[in-house]
Every structure is written in structure tokens, then in C-alpha cells.
Structure 1
Amino acid sequence: MPVVMLWRLWPYPMLCICVLLVCCQSAKRAPLPAGDPGNGGLFLPGNFEAVVVADSLGRSRHLTVNSNGDIYVKLTYNDIMHGSGGTVGLRDADNDGRADIISYFGNYKDEGGLPAGIAVHDGYLYTSTVKYIFRNKLIAGQLFPDPKTDTILIDDDYDLRKHWHTAKPFAFDRHNHMYVPFGAPTDAAQDINTVGPAGIPGGRGLDPAPDLKTHAGIWRFDAGKLKQTQKDGYHYATGIRSVLAIDWNPMDDCLYVAMNGMDNFHTRYPHTYSAWQAAVLPSEPLLKVTEHSNFGWPYAYYDHMQKKNMLQPGYGGDGKTIGRASQFDVPVMGFPGHWAPMDLLFYTGDQFPERYKKGVFIAFHGSTDRSPYPQAGYIVCFVPFENGKPTGDWEVFADGFTGVDTVFNTSDAVYRPMGLAEGPDGSLYISESNKGKIWRVMYKGNKTAFGPAQLAAMEQRKSRTYIKTPDEVKDNHGLGGEMNGLILYNSYCASCHQRDGKGDNNRYPPLAGSDWIAGNNDQLIKIILNGMQGKIRVNGKTYNGVMPAHGSFLDDHAIASIATYINKRFYKEKDLVASAEVTKLRSSTTSAATMVRAKTPGP
């Protein structure tokens, strides 16, 4: 059993102090440990094995591995195991592949954001929150770094109420520069002061977009300079919406990122983009970022099926028009929409077959907003490169995280791939964010004999519903989408019931905690469809207002999405509301109204 060590934390941002002495490492590399039966649940190419290093660490984000094999994992602060420490250090003392010492440290807070970014660089452990990038000196023989914390970067424009994409992942080049994305404050350049960061149906993008000088780009900093702000950095590239996956490729000495694309094309533009198009577009592109690159956010998006930059619908795009999108840089490759790339890694070790030194691994966290089609992603893929460019299609490298074939709800996936790191012996480490499981992937076969035969089984896995392109008819499951519902709720419901669902304590009743609709889908759907007027009593208080009918201008999927959002946001219900439920109630309401009209005498 691993030893879990918890230590008293110093006031923020200091780390706790702990000294763990270890025996000197042998100059000779230790043999690879045995893989777990079934590779810990993973499907891998032939002759690869995996061992579970640790499990249930807490909601893990990115990870890194020191030159002595110690592993450091970033955690989401709001769900830290044992209530202590935002980073966890892991040590395998007996080389069986499993962590024997698990120690939590680092008393940081992310104030509701999702942290991203941890790396060993130049003798330091660098970590980030959504507002800061810190570093702590690593000490030979110790698992914990020096408690003296240097603050390298401060985001002085940080405000989660105004900005969505605030994570601070980072990468280093060979000149000791640090590259940091400052994400776009909105999804598609909406007027955040009037419609919020999610936007509204049919909304136009601001033109020119007001935030491109300070957001939606990559900035370059000195990796060793203290207390820098964005003004101290160099604006390296622009037109990049949101990045968590970032790495420096030593093969061509260039920065690469995998970008998260925009959301909800059908919800915002139902007459222009179908639900199917919104499920698979826009692409999550792999970008080769050079100085002064411009990838076109918010005016353009990448279509991986047409292999073109297309005009964004908020600026008049219709899925066919290129227009001003032609002036922007084109990605090196595009992945299906909403797969959520979280990390990428250019492999430099010598344990894996040679082909893996000429390409990039990408971890996809999986989608949240593909309804009414199945959610997708949830894999680690590999993109083979030759002469600095992809040689063809991407490959499934690690699969099995979901535990199910069809992911209706994002929560159906047992694990969600998050972080990638390379160990000193060339092993690949993978973290996941649901429970905090860490895998170590190793190659045990003949490196020179590795080829198509070992990859064949992985190619077959592309037929799984969370990997394949969905069939427009057969794969439409008619389920409401929570992300769709968020936009629709904020557009049509929040002005009365408020964004927190608590109403106005006067005319409009609360939805959150309401004893009138909790657990009653039919009643909730009927009210959205048909509206209501007159006195009702909610949670012991009488309300007498007018709720307008929305069924005349919202389709069944839109109403199912609003009901799904209300149930999940305010009642923590797991199941999605089906469009079929809305269709049934709409039909019964229409039939009843027709019967009433038929029985009513004419003038």
C-alpha cells in the first residue's frame, strides 16, 4: 500500500516543508516493471503495456516527471483529496511501477477556475493557477521542492466573471523563454457586457473584436524573471481562442498548441447550421505557432472535413463561405469538434519505436456539448510527422477511458484523459481528471519490427461512437444538451428567473430549490412550451406573474436542452431530458387545444 503523507501548509503561496531522503539511484537504468493485467483498462498498440501508478488522487489535471522519476500532478483546488494540498508528489521507491509515497502540498486557490500547467524546467518545479505561475527549486534527494516560492507571472486582468478561458498552461523553448496563452474572454466575441460570455441565439460578433490586443493569443516571457505581468511579455501570436495543450517541438524548434474551438453553432444559428454540423464543427485544430501567427479567432474557424478556414457565423458565415477567413494561417491538422484537447507531448525518449519521435501525442478530455449526438473524444491519439508536417491521418494510441461505448452524458465516461508527461526512461504517463488515476505506458517489444500489424487493432477502434463521425440520422439520440441549454436559458429565462435560478423574490419564482417543478419533467416542459399566468405557490410564497409560451419559436431539442440545463444546474440530476418527451407533450397539448376549439361554438 502506498504511504499517503499530508503536511501542514504554510500561508499562500508558500509550499509545505517536507524532507524525504532516498537512496542514490543506480547509474544503470532499472528494468521496466510488469504491466497490469488488461493494462489497467487501457487499449494500446501491440507490445505496449500499462501499469496504474496511482488511483483516486483527486481531480487531476496536468502532470510532469522529474529526472529521478518523481511525478508531480496538478489538482483542481476545489476537490483536493483530504482537504490539503493542490499538488501531489508521487514516488515509486521499489520500481514496481506503483507509487509507494503519495504526498500532498501547495496551498493555492484557483477561485473557481480550472488550473492547467506544471513542468520541471531548469531545476525548478513550475506550477500555475488561473492567475499566477509559480516556481519552486527542486532539491536533490527530496520529493518536495524548496518552500520558497517565486512568483513568475501575475495575470493582472484576471476576472472569472468577465473572462472564460483563463487557464495558464505554459511551454519552454531552448532559450529559456516561457510561452503562455491568454484565452479569449468569450466564446465567439460577443458583447460580454450585454449578453455574457456564452452569447445569444443569432448574435453577431463584435467587429472589430475588442480583445485581440490583450487576449486570444500567446505571449512570450522570460522563464526566470520574477513578478512579470502581461505587459512584460511579448505578444507572440494571435487569433487563438482557448489553449490548454501546449508544447515545444525540438524537432523543428517550434511551438505547437491544440486549440479548443467555438461551441453551439446550431443553438445560436439554427437556420444556418444543423444539429449534426454543430456536433462535428468547428474543428479542434493543431496549430504550428510561429512569431506573428494569426489563426483568425473570432472571424474564422477551421473545418477539418473541407480542410479550410471558414467564415464564422457571427460574421455572416454559413458553412460554405470563406470570405475574410482566407487571410489567416491554416492549422497543420484538424480534429472533430468539441473533443477538448487538454495536453500534447512531443516524444523525445528512446524506449518507444522510432516513429514516435516524429510526431505528437494529444490527450482529448472529451466533449460536453454534442447533443443530440453522442459525446466524443476521451482518447489519447498520436499524429505521425515527417519533415515537420503530419504524414496522414491521426491514430488512436490509448483508448478505454470511457468504460462504455456510447457516452450520452459526459458523466457516463468513467475516466477523462487530461495530462501527458514523459519519464526519464522514455515511459509515457497519462493522467485523468475524474478520479485522479495515473497510468505509465511502456513498450516491451522489438522496436525495429513495430509497424502496421501492431496498429491494426487501434484503427478498428475508430468505429466506436465516441471516436467515429456520427451518422446524421442513426446517431441522433434526441437528447437535450446542457451547454445548449446554458445559452438558451441565459437568453430566454435568466432575465426573470436570474442566472442563479433564484428568481427576483417578487414576481418571478425561483427555479433553484423549487418544490413546484423539482423532479417533475412534464410540468417543467409544459411551462416552457405553453407558458402560464395566474397565482402559484412556490416554497410557501405566492407569485402572480406571466410566463410567456416558448413553444412557438423554440423547437423540441431547444426546450429539452433548457429543461436539461435547469435539472442539472439547479437539481444536480444526471439524466438528460429527451426531445421525445417534449414532442409527446407538445402533441398532446396541440390535440387538446384542437378539441377545445372544435367544441367551442362559432360566432
Structure 2
Amino acid sequence: MPSFCKRPWFATLLIGICICLVSCNQHKQPAPLPPGDPDNGGLFLPGNFEAVVVADSLGRARHLTVNTNGDIYVKLTYNDIMHGSGGTVGLRDADNDGKADIITYFGNYKDEGGLPAGIAVHNGYLYTATVKYIFRNKLKPGELLPERGTDTILIDDDENLRKHWHTAKPFAFDRHGNMYVPFGAPSDAAQDINVAGPAGIPGGKGLDPAPDLERHAGIWRFDENKNGQTQKDGYKYATGIRSVLAIDWNTMDDCLYVAMNGMDNFHTRYPQVYSAWQAAMLPSEPLLKVTEHANFGWPYAYYDHLQRKNVLQPGYGGDGKVIGRASKFNIPVMGFPGHWAPMDLLFYTGDQFPERYKQGAFVAFHGSTDRSPYPQAGYIVCFVPFSKGKPAGDWEVFADGFTGVDTVFNTSDAKYRPMGLAMGPDGSLYISESNKGRIWRVMYKGDKNTFRPAQLTAMESRKSRTYIKTPDEVKDNLGLGGVMNGLILYNSYCAGCHQRDGKGDNNRYPPLAASDWIVGNRERLIRVMLQGLQGEIKVNGKTFNGVMPAHGSFLDDHAIASIATYINKAFNKENSLVSSAEVTKLRNAPTGNAGSMVRTKPVN
């Protein structure tokens, strides 16, 4: 042996080469799947699926994406307030135990209001959206943090951006260098927001023609590589799409798909047309196959999954049955129950899951806010089987257990709210949630070639949960006021005097926010809405002498309960919901008894 081979440095070199060769050879083989958590992180999944919690309490997480090396990136909401260090978080599982070992925050930008969504690793770049911008940063192989140089791909230059409800900028890429971005409708159903606010007013008519359709309620196509684009640089690809956060390009048929958030509060605005039960179920949250020049009818029409057709919107003369101009709009490929709030859409292209999942779509539902007096619903991840570019069956419950409770009376009751979906390089499915920022990794541990329908039986039985099933019109009526209903009614009947912020006009009309006259006194609040009030009262040490008209003659008990619920929660941080039964009891009580709010002399 040559003498230099005996030197220590040479031995070290040989060992290093061996380690490198072993390491390189290992990287050619996929790493074994880590064990799932004993309780699957709280999730219920089909047979032989397991889940592990990758990270927890990251902050209010929105969408997420996974790099080709397994690094995870999560878009956060206003994370600069929570952590002081950026609105995106990068996660790395260095030892492949399923848990993130490295967690780092970056991206020092603030959102312009609203709820941001949209993040993706694409062609070696990390694309990240805020409400106003879409950025991208180059990813360096092996590095978790992207490079510092930031490209601003898109700028929303709408000067009224902060007034709009549906301002998120999720996006999807085709295979031809294009990026597709929804521009959400400023209002719920094409009301004049300067008069009615984004939520609209009871009985309100939609603007006709709807001016929002010129720059909103549609999807625009942009160059994925060009800096500094604004909306005028894009191509209007499709229209009549109210609000989208769930968007993906399906490579199987080379087409764009979105799951749309439908309109809200049909009973609150049109009680003569829709019952509370109908308003809880309708309109559908439709899955749309979006082709060039497609028009899905917002605001003139909506999809009714119970009738399986487009029908005319009530703000344009509809009664829940009339089709009218709705006949000329594109038909969705599927309709989910109303108000479930689809937040993300993912067509599965991996090889880890059984064959039946390939080509199909996962949909994350954030959960409803405005189904009262029925239980809030959604809060699950669904799967839609596809074959040859079309749904091959009804939607299925794929992941459940997020709520932590059997019945969601109010949105805040849900422990977790599913938000984002992403697929890892090994075919694992990642799920984010928005309350605390928990991330799950879902894996299949069985023989994918012997997957059987029996493995779905337990998931099918979960459709009986109150937040999934079709509610019984009588038995499932909880009789509780709704915050969203209360918002619309408050802005219609109360804000003119007490102002939208509840602080009153500092002259004739007293504040409702932090009011020592109503805080902790539900009966007084309900009575004054039912029966009215005149004469002096003292609120927070100041005397007011206005006239409060009685609203009980034209608002039903659920409406009064909803306004009271909204006032208590929005202005006074009271979490309990006011029930219709409380209102009914006081409505039927003698008006002259102690505590009556009909006054003819000053009250202190």
C-alpha cells in the first residue's frame, strides 16, 4: 500500500466518501413514512390512513405548500402582530419523524385588510399572496429560507380594496406559463355597498346591470414571470364567480377548477321567499370547471344543489324556483351544501394513496358562520372521486374531527377550522387550520392495491354529525340568534342612530359598545328593541333623551335575538348567544311589569 494511504487524513477522506456514497444512494430511495400519532392528531380518517401533527400553534395559518425536498411553507394572517417576524413560516422535518424540527418566520409585509390566501412552490420559486400583492422569491436548493430578492408579480391597484369583502388573492398555474387569480366581488349579491354595506339590507335589490362584473367577480390570467402587473395587464378569463379561495389546475384534463363561496343570508334578507331552513342550505357552494369565457351567473343566479339547477337570485326577482336568465349560465360540476366555505382545492396526483384517490379532488371546508338558527356546518375535508375529467360519485368525508364538539352552535365553538391543502413529494396530504395554526400530515399505511369500499364505511357514518348532515327542519332548529344575521339587521335598522361601530352619535343616541346600561342586562336589551323607548336615560354617566322606535312589530323573534347576539359579541365581548325563546317570553310578557322599556318619564 502506498505510504500516503496510511495517513490519518486519507482514512478520513475514505470515510467521507463512503458516507457520501451511502447518503447519495439513500436519497434515491423515498424515506420511510413516519409513524402517525396514536390519535391521528384528533382526526378521523378512512381505514389504514394515519395522521401526524407536524407543527402546532404557528399562528393563524391560511394556505400551505410543500417543496420537492419536503420543506413546508405556510401563509399566515397578520403574523407580524403575533410574532413580530413575518407573515410566512418555513418548516423542516430534519430527522423524518413527522415533526417539524426547524420553524422559522420570514416575509416582513403587512396585509391591507381582509384575509390573505395563496402560497405555492412553482418552478423553483416561492409565490406568496397578500390581499394586495402576489410576490415571489427564488428558492435555493437545500436552503429553507428563500433568497432575499423579491419579485412583485401582481399589484391590486383598486383604490377601494379595503371596502371589499372578498379580496384574497389565491392563485393557480397552468402548464403554459400562466397564473390565474380571482378578483372577488366587493359585496355579497351586487348591492350598492355605499348604501347597504357589503352584506346588503333586507329586501334589497341587486344593481342591474351589476357594475362589479367589470373588474370583480371573475378570474384573470397573468404571466407568471412578469413583474409589476396590475389587473389591466391580465386577461379576463371567466366571470360570474362571487368569491374564490379554493383553486387548482387539474392536469388530468388541463383545466382550471375552483370551489366558490356562495351568497349568504337569504332568509334574513328575503324572509317572504326563503325559510330559515332553506337559507341554511342555500345557495350551494359549487365546484366549477372554469373554461375560457365561462360565466357562472353571479349576481343574477345561483346554483341550487337540491334542485340540481341554476335559479334566479331573489335580488333580481327570483322566488327560489324561477329560472329566468339563469338558464344562460354555465352549470357547476357539483354543489356542496350552503355556507360550508370551501377554502382550498387539491387534485391528487401522488402515488402513495390508493388508485381511487388519483385524479380526484380534496376540498377543505372552513365551516359556516351564518346557518342560524340551525347548527353551523362544514369544518371537514371532503374527497370527490373523478374519472375522465368528471366527478365519478358524490362527495365523501375524508378527514373529520376538527370541531372537537358534536354541535357547532357558533363558529367559535370549533376547535380547528380546516383551511389549506398541499401534497408532499411522497404523496402525503398536508392540512392546515386557521384557529391556532396546526399542520397535519396524512399518510396511507395499508396495501394500496387492496383498498376496499369497506374502509370508507366509518367515514360515511360520520355524515350523521350535526355539522355535516342535512338538518331536520324542526328537530335541528336550535333557536339561537346568529351573528351574521345580526350584522345585516343591525346595519339596516340600528346603525343609522347607534352607528356601525356601536358608539352612538355622542348627542341624541347612546352608545351600545361598552354601555353600562345594557352590558350584562339581556332582558333590557331585548325589551328596548321589542317595545321601544322614549324619555331620558343615563349611559356611562351621560344623559340621552332620544326616541327609540319599537321594532317588535316588524322583526320576528329570531331577528331580535340575532341583533342582540351581534351587539353583545361585536361590541361587548359577550360570548353567549341570545335565543329566540328569550325574545318570545319577553314579547308575550305584560308590557307594564317591572323592567318594561316603554317609558314616559326619565330613567336612570
Both proteins in one fold, TM over 0.5: yes
CA distance in 1 between counterparts of 2:387 and 2:162 reads 43
The Cα shift of 1:589 comes to 3.6
Contiguous gaps of at least 5 residues in structure 2: 1-22, 597-604
Deviations for 1:237-275, whole angstroms, at most 9, x for unmatched residues? 000000000000000000000000000000000111000
Shifted more, 325-334 versus 154-163: the winner is 154-163
Shifted more, 131-140 versus 151-160: the winner is 151-160
Aligned residue for 1:217?
218
Equivalent positions of 1:472-483 (< 5 A) are 472-483=473-484
1:108 to 1:546, Cα distance in 2 relative to 1, 3 A: same
Aligned residue for 2:312?
311
1:135 to 1:79, Cα distance in 2 relative to 1, 3 A: closer
Aligned residue for 1:60?
61
CA distance in 1 between counterparts of 2:332 and 2:108 reads 38
Number of residues of Structure 1 aligned to a counterpart in Structure 2: 573
Aligned residue for 1:241?
242
Aligned residue for 2:601?
none
Is 1:197 matched up with 2:198? yes
Shifted more, 34-43 versus 108-117: the winner is 108-117
SS at structure 1 position matched to 2:534: strand
CA distance in 2 between counterparts of 1:286 and 1:95 reads 36
Aligned residue for 1:428?
429
The Cα shift of 1:53 comes to 0.2
SS at structure 2 position matched to 1:64: strand
Is 1:129 matched up with 2:145? no
1:78 to 1:513, Cα distance in 2 relative to 1, 3 A: farther
CA distance in 2 between counterparts of 1:82 and 1:292 reads 43
Q: What is the root-mean-square deviation of aligned Cα atoms in Å?
A: 1.5
The Cα shift of 1:571 comes to 1.0
CA distance in 2 between counterparts of 1:316 and 1:190 reads 14
SS at structure 2 position matched to 1:486: helix
The Cα shift of 1:162 comes to 2.7
CA distance in 1 between counterparts of 2:149 and 2:521 reads 55
Aligned residue for 2:29?
28
Aligned residue for 1:498?
499
The Cα shift of 1:283 comes to 0.2
Aligned residue for 2:519?
518
Deviations for 1:39-78, whole angstroms, at most 9, x for unmatched residues? 1100000000000000000000000000000000000015
CA distance in 1 between counterparts of 2:530 and 2:24 reads 69
CA distance in 2 between counterparts of 1:427 and 1:403 reads 24
The Cα shift of 1:590 comes to 5.3
CA contact (8 A) 1:332 1:390 kept: yes
Contiguous gaps of at least 5 residues in structure 1: 1-21, 596-603
Aligned residue for 1:289?
290
The Cα shift of 1:191 comes to 1.1
Aligned residue for 2:470?
469
CA contact (8 A) 2:80 2:87 kept: no
CA distance in 2 between counterparts of 1:294 and 1:25 reads 50
Aligned residue for 2:363?
362
CA distance in 1 between counterparts of 2:271 and 2:452 reads 45
Shifted more, 352-361 versus 469-478: the winner is 352-361
Give 1:124's aligned amino acid.
Y
Is 1:117 matched up with 2:136? no
Deviations for 1:107-161, whole angstroms, at most 9, x for unmatched residues? 1111331110000011100000000000000011111000111000000005344
Is 1:385 matched up with 2:390? no
CA distance in 1 between counterparts of 2:513 and 2:341 reads 29
Give 1:129's aligned amino acid.
T
Deviations for 1:152-204, whole angstroms, at most 9, x for unmatched residues? 00000053443111000000000010000000010000011211111100001
1:216 to 1:24, Cα distance in 2 relative to 1, 3 A: farther
SS at structure 2 position matched to 1:120: strand
CA distance in 2 between counterparts of 1:81 and 1:549 reads 44
Give 2:144's aligned amino acid.
L
Is 1:348 matched up with 2:349? yes
1:25 to 1:172, Cα distance in 2 relative to 1, 3 A: farther
Aligned residue for 1:50?
51
CA contact (8 A) 1:57 1:81 kept: no
The Cα shift of 1:81 comes to 4.0
Is 1:407 matched up with 2:373? no
Deviations for 1:262-319, whole angstroms, at most 9, x for unmatched residues? 0000000011100000001000000000000000000000000110001000011111
Shifted more, 135-144 versus 74-83: the winner is 74-83
CA distance in 2 between counterparts of 1:492 and 1:505 reads 18
Equivalent positions of 1:521-540 (< 5 A) are 521-540=522-541
Identity of counterpart residues, as a percentage? 84
SS at structure 2 position matched to 1:236: strand
Give 2:468's aligned amino acid.
I
